[in-house]
Amino acid sequence: MRSWFPLFLLLLGACGVPARRATFNPEEFAPYARKGTGVIEGRAWLWLGKDQIRKAAGHVVILKPVTTYTTEWIERGVKKGINLAPPDPRAKAFVRTVRADKEGRFRFEGLPPGSFYITCPMNYLSFDCTLGIDMKKVKWVYKKVDLGPGEVKKVFLTNDPEGGNRFSSK
């Protein structure tokens, strides 16, 4: 009698989420383990077209160091919307999060010099013509930021083609 269990595991893996191609490399993350004096602050919002914007009020803003491992997450997970396998638990120590205020402002302090990805998943409602109802959708806004020692970097985190110009006078 043949065992069905190996076949079951094979089929289960085929139906699961895509595996990560990059592996966690502790050496790439090591420079980000120390405390620094750098600051990244800014505002986040989603542009919905026709001068409609949605501020990131109350949304979580995520900061990760730029490594081969996190670049795969940006390229496949954020940009392409692929739901990747869960991250290596060691990567969690290098992820920082803050909640944007009511104007979509955020601030990360105590950062070492280096390159960082800042991301924010934005929830919004979009009318579905075929169903005749509003559907909840998620769109990511993201940016890569290079930070020097003790530098304070101001950024606009948005998909807006005008960048920060919509808020330049506010």
The CATH number given to 18-161 is: 2.60.40.10
- Average pLDDT over all residues of the chain: 86
Dump pLDDT digits (tens) for 26-69: 999 999 999 999 999 999 999 888 778 889 999 999 999 999 99
Distance in Å from the first CA to the final CA of the chain: 73
Backbone angles phi, psi at 60, to 5 degrees: -85, 130
Distance CA(159)–CA(72), nearest Å, equals 20
Query: Any idea which residue has 């160091």 for tokens?
Result: 65
- Tell me the whole-structure pTM to 2 decimals: 0.82
pLDDT of residue 9: 41
Domain boundaries defined on the chain? 18-161
Low-confidence spans in the chain with pLDDT less than 70: 1-16, 125-127, 164-170
How many other C-beta atoms can be found within 10 angstroms of the C-beta atom of residue 89?
Answer: 8
